[in-house]
Amino acid sequence: MPSYRISVPGPRNGWEADQMRVLLRAQLKRMGQTGLDWDIEEIRMGNRTVFLLFNHNRKKRMNGEKEIQKSLGMTVAEYIVTVNEPHVIRKIIQRVFHFRHPDDSRKIEQYALHLLDDSEADEPPYRKRKERMARQVMRYLNQHHVLAVDGFFHFRLKHYRDGLIRLVEHAVDEFLLEQEYREFIELLRYFVSIQQPKCSLVHVLHIEKRQFRLLDRKGDPLQLKDMGSIAQDLLEQPFSHEDLIVSTLLTVAPKQVVLHTQNPEENVIRTLEQVFESRMTLCDGCSSCLPHLRR
């Protein structure tokens, strides 16, 4: 008689059964290396695949009961994260937040999975989610030796599934922000394309994290006769807001921009590169800009 029965939906040659088979065999192999030998068999019951786990040595079975429960807990948790989690996230995107377009749904799903990966070590409620699920499965197997994985997921992990809804909500917010950002960049590109250039070259010095200075081709503070006094005042001092540097460059509309920075990965630099595209050249430290950048 088997000690445990673990079942998943679908036939023995189905994807769900393949995933569980690989995970179970890997866990049982690790257990075998510690002297705890368990056998595994498979049967089909209706539209389900059932994995039967045996240990014919009663003494070893009793001594290794906690270990097999722990191993099965880890296996089931890994299966849920691999098989159930992406499917549930897709359903939440479509049914709760009503995103039907495949491209939008795919991007939101990618955001959600990325958030889960990033939060493994950092953020509740997803931190160490597999370990928490494994403990729940282990407690269940301490009382029951028959486990339908999909049923356990739907009826015993409600708190976890509610957490996935909050996760998708966060992913939707990220997606909408990125969408707004792309539309903003497209609008700025349009403004650049229709503006009449007021000078041939502008040097942009990225002095500190959010401070900039604009210089003309000779390295002097930029002077434009047809700009208003407020804009001219801005050009004569470092300014510390991303929207100001972007709007000022749009007003100046130079044919060419040389951006001097030692932090090219910052968001404002990324924005400027996307707006001015081929007009912009990036400098990470030349003889002209280093004295300014090191102040």
Virtual torsion, Cα 64, 34, 8, 6, nearest 10 deg: -20
Of the candidates 268, 263, 266, 261, the residue with the CA atom closest to the CA atom of residue 283: 261
**The two structure tokens encoding residue 224:** 């434009």
CATH dotted code for 196-293:
3.30.420
Query: Would the pLDDT of 91 be above 80?
Result: yes
Residue ranges per structural domain of the chain: 4-182, 196-293
pLDDT tens column, 94-142: 988 988 888 999 999 999 998 887 654 445 555 588 899 999 999 999 9
Place of tokens 């799903």: 109
Query: Would the pLDDT of 42 be above 80?
Result: yes
Q: Which of 37-41, 78-82, 288-292 has the highest mean pLDDT?
A: 78-82
- Helices and strands per DSSP (H, E), number in the chain: 12, 8
What is the residue-averaged pLDDT of the chain?
84
Query: Would the pLDDT of 167 be above 60?
Result: yes
User: Which residues have CB under 8 Å from 169's CB, separation 6+?
Assistant: 97
pLDDT tens column, 246-287: 878 888 889 999 999 888 888 888 889 999 998 999 987 776
Inter-residue contact 209 to 266 (CB < 8 Å): yes
Quote the DSSP letter at residue 237: S
DSSP bridge pairs for 283: 260
Place of tokens 């088979």: 21
Q: Percentage of the chain surpassing pLDDT 90?
A: 45
